[in-house]
Amino acid sequence: MVSTTTFDLIYYLFTIVTILTLGTAIFLGVLRNRSTKEKSLRNLRIAVVLVSSGAIIDFAWAVLLTALSRSGGWWDSLSGGLFYQQATYSVIYAGTALVLFGITRSLQTFWESAGIKTKTRASIALWITYLLAVVVSLVYLFNPGTYTITYSGIIAHVAEQRIFWLPAFLALAIGTAIFSIGATKIANSSMRRGSILTALFCVLLFLGSLRESNIIPSTGDPLSDLLLAFAPFAASAFCLMLSQISFSVTPLTEFEKPPSHKHAE
């Protein structure tokens, strides 16, 4: 077992590295877009900026509330209770919506790269699905009855429910599918690598969230639990930054189709 000081040091180190890396992805996207006129390339860079921004909101807010709950005082008395859960997930759903906005923006670009007319109905369907997931989660989140269980005649609060993670898991699954499929629609290797890295970001963030949501059960060792969640979080941030770099170095012909190699008659 590590000391509390060592645990806190590792915890905040992962936090700082993750947020700074996501911030770098935003900075690179904004900086490079200022000198780019090509629409498709700009859209993908902006998509990564939006995804990074949403991830920062979710990550920073959750860490901030955790830090407040560990600092003692009035907020500590709320930790794990009804208001604490509502404050946590309400903001996380907003941040995740920003992530989904970036994902759906990239979807439009992938449709265009495949020579298909823009399918706005696909984006609308994804948003409806996400909003339905949010509504289902909010029904539980704002219903005090879902926070209590009776054990041996004693009413106790449920610390956290997995249903609250449904919108985030859905958005990450959508992102993984869209960027994985999008990578098959792009001829340029740098653009394809960027799409694969963004899909990997979604996968790693999903894996870390499985531990945070207790779907992956605790190992019994706080440090091991921390590493199971925050190591994938940090790795996902690096994938997103590398994705932005891949989009930034791509020439303006990134969506050109490979030559057909037809022989002249």
Integer-rounded Cα Rg, in Å, for the chain is 21
What are the phi and psi torsion angles at 229 (to 5°)? -95, -50
pLDDT at 154: 56
User: Is residue 216 helix, strand or coil?
Assistant: coil
**Torsion sign (Cα): 120, 123, 125, 131:** negative
pLDDT at 110: 74
pLDDT at 259: 44
pLDDT at 105: 85
For residues 148 and 157, the answer to whether their CB atoms sit within 8 Å is yes
Query: Using a CB cutoff of 8 Å and minimum separation of 24, what contacts does 138-145 make?
Result: 138/93, 140/164, 141/85, 141/86, 141/89, 141/90, 142/86, 144/82
pLDDT at 109: 74
Distance CA 198, CA 176 (A): 8
- The number of C-alpha atoms within 13 Å of 94 and in the hemisphere containing its C-beta is 9
Output the 3-class SS for 6-26: HHHHHHHHHHHHHHHHHHHHH
| pLDDT tens digits for range 9-31 | 999 899 999 999 999 999 998 88
**Torsion sign (Cα): 179, 16, 162, 217:** positive
pLDDT at 175: 92
For residues 45 and 244, the answer to whether their CB atoms sit within 8 Å is yes
Distance CA 7, CA 236 (A): 21
**Torsion sign (Cα): 99, 108, 36, 201:** positive
pLDDT at 262: 45
Q: Which residues contact 74 (CB under 8 A, 6 or more apart)?
A: none
For residues 121 and 114, the answer to whether their CB atoms sit within 8 Å is no
Q: Determine if the pTM surpasses 0.85.
A: no
| pLDDT tens digits for range 67-86 | 776 665 555 555 556 677 78
pLDDT in tens, the chain (265 residues): 677 888 889 998 999 999 999 999 999 988 877 766 677 778 888 999 999 999 999 999 888 887 776 665 555 555 556 677 788 888 999 999 999 999 988 887 777 665 555 567 778 889 999 999 999 999 888 877 766 655 555 555 555 678 889 999 999 999 999 888 888 877 777 778 888 999 999 999 999 999 988 889 888 888 999 999 999 999 999 999 999 988 866 554 444 444 444 443 3
Q: Domain 7-145+157-248: which topology? A: Rhopdopsin 7-helix transmembrane proteins (1.20.1070)
Which residue's structure tokens are 């990239």?
A: 106
For residues 190 and 250, the answer to whether their CB atoms sit within 8 Å is yes
Taking the domains of the chain in order of start, what are their residue ranges? Answer: 7-145+157-248
pLDDT at 257: 45
